[in-house]
Structure 1
Amino acid sequence: MPYQTGFATLLDFREATERVREQLRVWLQQKRYDVDRFDAGEAGLSPGVVIRYAATNDVSGWQLQESRHDGVTWVSTVAVTRGVRRDHAWISLNVEPVVSGSASPPQAAPPKLVRLLLGAVDAVDGEATLRPHPMVVNAAGVDDLLEIVCAEERRLPVVVAAAPTDVPFDRWRATVNSLVRYLPGLASTYLLDPVAVPAFNDGIGVTYAIGPGAVRTYLPSVDPAISEDSVRHRVLSRWRIEKEPARAARVLGVLPRQLAAAALPAAAARGLNLSVGESRRARDEPAGETTSLRAEVKTLTELLAIADDTEQQLREAASRHQEQVLDLAADLEIAQAELERRSATVRELQRRLVEAQMYDLAYSPVEAPPPLPTSFADLLDRLNQLTDHVVFTGNMETCLDLDEQMQSSAWAQTGWQGLLALADYAAASTNNDFAGDFKTWCESPPNGRYAISAGKVARDESPTVRNNAKFSATRVFPVPESVSPSCEIFMGAHIKLGNSTTIAPRMHFLDALRRDGHIYVGYIGPHLPNTLT
């Protein structure tokens, strides 16, 4: 995924363009490129490095092309677009790798340029201020932060970190600065000092609160009055931050990066779409020199080739997003049908109780179940809540990698529901209360027991996978010696956690209840290789 963002600045178009040019020059100088050539308007700054300027009456921008020895060409585009009001403009930035053939492009990290820009201009997202590093908030600033979190007009997430009381503040501030290193330009970031934490939590409400040492990402459209919506605003626990800081930083950056690209304003997008062919800048080479013209044609041809590759990558990304939307729509339809079935059951049972004049039982409130996990890190932390019959033997790192995907929260919730269903099934089977397998259990679960949609359960892999040594080997997972002398075994049974065509996560398990009274979950991760992957 490329790094892409756009934000407003409280500068007019001319001043914003000049500030961007100044910071672009600093960035090029940091890269040790020939800035004298840049100042002179020349395209070539170094071997394999070309920069072009383009402008119209309302947009001005630069595109930098850097060809590396590893076959990757990095294309960085920064543009300024005139705002609707004369006293502000839009700054947009896109950095993406272009690779030839079927090789996977590397991840684009936030460029140093965005930090330079945020330090040089007054960048805003509605009422939120965008800065290179988190802004410290004390008790006096809590009300302003609450206004920012709940503001209707912001597009980007607000990431709020809560300082603990048992760690020196400066040390925790350094931890948070490192944690949010992938967020410049993608979110507004704030650090509550220890005194401000309880004041913020009192103002935002218990379901939207942040524990000391935790970090919470508040997406747009926060309404503290709607407690059910709080699960949408993810929490990164202190334990996870301290245990795996590098992974925590990556996980924290996934959603803001995708939202920033999806919520790019039309004005900012127009700046990124500025064509080099629209440049009004005079060529510095004499038009009559054949060599200069050939060099110019060569450069433009390379830029067009990159543009074609970029367009193809964008089409592929749009296709993946379309498939994800369709998958989510299908999951939503299934969930709504299941919810309606259960609601109808509740209504019918209430009616029967009323007819039997058992009014207290009909309408007495039911104890709310604990909230579902919002990440696979949370799921793994809850494994000790399961019965002894369900044992996880898989690779935790593979499972945690799923948290770096946008749909990880929904997948983790499905996974936890699957584990709860396995636990109930195992308990009933060992007590001789149920004689079928897990899929049969889900097709017709006993009353009051946990189950998931039977359509998500597969009893085994297809013969094509089982009989292919290459494919079957990837589905061999650890078990105790009491189950297999080799301490590993093929696990074909699995639960479908999601249908995304790029990840399609699965949970593979072995039903060994009749061997030693346990179900072993050997794998939670992306779809394993088959004939389609």
Structure 2
Amino acid sequence: MTRPTSSDQSDPPAARYRMVVTSGHGHTDTAALADQRLRGWLKQEGYDEPPAAPAPPVAGGAAPPEAARHRIGDRASLDLDAGPLRGGTGRYLRRRVRQPAPHGVRQTTLTVATPSGGPTWVRLEAEHLPNGPGVRSSGRVPVPGLARDLLPLLDASDGPAAVRDRPAVVGPRAVDRLIDELCDPDRRLPIVVASVPADLDRDAWLADAVRPAVANLTGLAVLYVLDHAARPAFNLALEYHPVYGGAVRTYLPGLDPAARGDGVHHPVMSRRLLEDDPRRAAAILAREPRRLAADTPLPDVLADVPVLRTLPLPPAPPRPGSPAAGQDARGARTDQEARDAQAAESAEAAEQSAREEQAGADELQRIRRQLQHAERLERSLLAEADDQYEALRHARAQVRVLTRRLVSAAGPAAADPAEVAGEARREEDANPATFAELVARLGEFPSLVFTGDVKEALALDERNAGPGWARLAWDGLLALQDYADAAARGRAHGDFKQWCEHTPPDCHPFPPRKAVRGESHTVSTNAKWKKERMLPVPHAVDPSGRAFMGAHLRIGGGGTAPRLHYLDDCSGTGRIYIGYIGLHLTNTRTN
């Protein structure tokens, strides 16, 4: 029979559930509560009552780990071990249950670990282990009922934030505490904050929309709902990261409330999606916390828990009347000697396997730390780049104002810095700050024709509450219009990317690196992905009513990575057709 293999490095986060919290109790009490709840859960599952667990060593003791393995049902087992942490600076207790599942095994592991003089940590992991390396895990591993039972018993927390199985209501007096939790530099879990529509009762909205939407987040996030009175103060404190109108926002660790560009990294879900498709809303809300739980490095104390050395299961007792039940003493001794020799051989192989598994676990922890550092650096640089781009836009607006004044020989007033800056700021403020405004003003571009789905563009407002994406898209439209005007007069001298690289001083610029001529060969030759980019055009451009729009503008960055796809037909109809403004279409990274 093929042994089930760990999915820790190969399967998507959906195939694994991982909860890591601190307990409000000491090691002994936490271990007792965990064992009590685990036994109750096994009884609910219909398994045999497990035997007494090995007692953990005293704090600071150097006793070797104690381990045992038991059958608790047909093809179901319970592993128990306890002992000192690696390095001897604390202690741990662990329980692992294996149950039969389609195409593999369902494995649930509960670990309690406490460093000397530190808080007690609890890790609960549930995963589907496929039978063999060539088999993928099937489906999403749901939130274990054990997690919902443990959280209130443990008084679980993530730093100063309480981790509950349902949202806590935040009133005006609790806003400062919530802000402190959001800005805690050491927090590990996302904080999900729901707002209440101004026209609805809080408790009704909480019961009908919020609780179903966060049902998959138990143990994966800290959950709050702002009442009507708390929302204004909260949004005033988080100017660049607000939530309102019945939306739900996921605040990831590393929040920078002073950075305008940081808002894009904390996704927003609209009231419309919560009401129209609750099941899809719940799945989307759980996606990023699941990924974060899988990718975040473990706390040091949990990383110091040694890997579990799997012991052989005790043999099933012989059935009455079977040859084994009736064999004589000599035969029994012979069989016992054979079993002892086999056990010794198995123990040696298990020890070697454990050493290799421990080395793999340590390497995975190191990679997770590197990934976390790289993601934080990327977010910081992207936020900094957004702030610098805002400053660059203002400087370029001043250059355009000055150029116009000089051309019109405006006289001494042309050089007044305060007046120039004020006019430039007024010009910038006139630009749309949302995609709803942008779509409403598409008629201002005589050479640009939008043929796409307005809903895709409007959905971007739900993912980013700041004006950065909309303003960058507007800059792209302004630059495309200037390019189309120049192309009509025969003065463009190349395609739009070349225009961006050599933009005349009196025209609107667009970052050349964000102007892409076409898709990669992989995308262009993939039938499904290419079909997504076959976007509407007038029949005068293509009789089929659709054309491939590989050229696009990069609007923003990060996982959502919005795009504006267009077709340059200046040499034909004299127009540029914009077939799509929305989230990144499928490619090798998004698939």
CA distance in 1, matches of 2:350, 2:389: 56
What secondary structure, in the 3-state scheme, does the structure 2 residue paired with 1:25 have?
helix
**Identity among equivalent pairs (%):** 28
| Counterpart Cα distance in 2 of 1:289 and 1:395 | 77
What corresponds to 2:272 in structure 1? Answer: 239
Alignment equivalent of 1:49, drawn from 53, 76, 80: 76
Structure 1 partner of 2:26: 12
Gaps of 5+ in 1: none
1:13 CA displacement:
0.4
Matching of residues 349-364 of structure 1 within 5 Å: 358-361=416-419, 364=422
Distance 1:382 1:27 in 2: 54
Give the 5 Å matches for 1:273-352. 273-277=305-309, 288=336
Separation in 2 of the partners of 1:478 and 1:165? 39
In the other structure, the counterpart of 2:127 is 96
Structure-2 change in CA distance of 1:24 and 1:371 (3 Å): farther
Instruction: Give the structure-2-normalised TM-score.
Output: 0.68
Shift in Å, 1:304: 7.0
**In 2, are the aligned partners of 1:461 and 1:492 still within 8 Å (CA)?**
yes
**Structure-2 change in CA distance of 1:421 and 1:201 (3 Å):** closer
1:170 counterpart SS class: helix
1:76-107 Cα shifts (integer Å, max 9, x gaps): 32210114437x41111233344432747644
Q: Is 2:249 the counterpart of 1:190?
A: no
**Equivalents in 2 of 1:345, 1:516: separation in Å?**
28
**Superposed CA offset, 1:467-508 (max 9, x none):** 7878755643344444333232223323456899x9988654
**Pairing of 1:442-453 with structure 2 (within 5 A):** 442-447=500-505, 449-453=507-511
Instruction: Find the aligned partners of 1:399 and 1:315 in 2 and give their Cα distance.
Output: 41
Deviations along 1:276-313, one digit per CA (max 9) or x if unpaired, are 2298x997989948679979959979x97996999699
- Structure of higher CA gyration radius: 2
1:426 pairs with 2:481: yes
Q: Where does residue 325 of structure 2 map in the other structure?
A: none
Per the TM alignment, residue 123 of structure 1 is displaced from its structure 2 partner at its CA by: 0.9
Q: 1:487 aligns with which of 518, 525, 545?
A: 545
Counterpart code for 2:566: F
Classify the secondary structure of the residue corresponding to 2:96.
strand
Structure 1 stretch displaced more, 471-480 or 460-469: 460-469
- Alpha-carbon distance in 2 for matches of 1:451, 1:66: 61
Match of 2:47 among 23, 28, 34: 34
Give the SS at the match of 2:216: coil
Residue 200 to residue 508, structure 1, CA distance change in 2 (3 Å) = closer
Report if the CA contact (8 A) 2:551-2:566 is conserved.
yes
> What is the alpha-carbon distance in structure 2 between the residues aligned to residue 371 and residue 118 of structure 1?
48
**Which of 445-454 and 4-13 deviates more?**
445-454
Corresponding residue of 2:425: 366
Say whether 1:177 aligns with 2:229: no
8 Å Cα contact 1:13/1:80 also seen in 2: yes
Residue 265 in 1 paired to residue 265 in 2?
no
Tell me what 2:517 maps to. 459
Task: Report the CA distance shift for 1:527/1:217 in structure 2 as closer, same or farther (over 3 A).
Answer: closer
For 1:7, the aligned partner's letter is: V
Greater displacement, 442-451 / 184-193: 442-451
Deviation of the 1:19 alpha carbon: 1.0
Q: Is it true that 1:138 corresponds to 2:197 in the alignment?
A: no
Counterpart residue type for residue 79 of structure 1: T
SS of the equivalent of 2:217 reads: coil
Shift of 1:172: 0.7
- The number of residues matched between the two structures is 516
Separation (CA, whole Å) in 2 of partners of 1:153 and 1:328:
16
- Specify which of 100, 115, 118 is matched with residue 148 of structure 2: 115
In structure 2, give the amino acid aligned to 1:20: A
Deviation at 1:53, TM superposition (A): 1.6
Give the Cα–Cα distance (whole angstroms) in 2 for the partners of residues 477 and 349 of structure 1.
34
Displacement after TM superposition at 1:54 (Å): 1.8
Contact 1:128 1:148 in 2 (8 A): yes
Q: Deviations over 1:258-289 (max 9, x none)?
A: 4445264212333xx5322298x997989948
1:60 corresponds to:
93
One-letter amino acid of the structure 2 residue matched with residue 239 of structure 1 = R
Report SS of the residue matched to 2:587. Answer: coil
Deviations 1:210-257, CA, capped at 9 Å, x for gaps: 324222334446565666655554443323433443343334334434
Output the CA distance in 2 between the equivalents of 1:392 and 1:447. Answer: 30
Q: How far did 1:133 drift?
A: 0.5
Q: Could you tell me how far 1:192 is from its partner in structure 2? A: 2.5
CA separation of 1:380/1:6 partners in 2, compared to 1, >3 Å: closer, same or farther?
A: farther
Q: Name the residue aligned to 2:409.
A: none
TM-score (norm. length: structure 1)? 0.74
Name the CA distance, whole Å, in 2 between partners of 1:467 and 1:205: 45
Bigger CA drift: 512-521 or 180-189? 512-521
Q: Which amino acid aligns with 2:215?
A: R
Q: Which amino acid aligns with 2:113?
A: T
* Aligned 8 A contact 2:297 2:368 in 1: no
Shift of 1:198: 3.6
Superposed displacement of residue 17, structure 1: 0.8
Residue 525 of structure 1 aligns with which residue?
A: 584
Partners of 1:152 and 1:418 lie apart in 2 by 33
- Mapped pair 1:438 → 2:496: yes
Amino acid at match of 2:81: A
What is the distance in 2 between the residues matched to 1:456 and 1:437?
A: 14
The whole-number CA distance in structure 2 between the counterparts of 1:229 and 1:467 is 36
SS in 2 for 1:276: coil
The one-letter amino acid of 1:27's match is: W
How far 1:329 moved relative to its partner?
Answer: 9.3
Q: Which residue of 2 aligns with 1:77?
A: 109
Match in the other structure for 1:126: 159
Task: Provide closer, same or farther for how the CA distance between residues 509 and 322 of structure 1 changes in structure 2, counting only shifts above 3 A.
Answer: farther
CA distance in 1, matches of 2:441, 2:480: 15
Counterparts of 1:262 and 1:338, CA distance in 2: 31
**Bigger shift: 448-457 or 2-11?**
448-457
Q: Is the 8 A contact 2:308 2:354 kept in 1?
A: no
Q: Deviations over 1:410-462 (max 9, x none)?
A: 9x966973564145413651584663432223222344655443234333356
Q: Cα RMSD (Å) of the superposition?
A: 5.3
C-alpha distance in 2 between matches for 1:170 and 1:232: 29
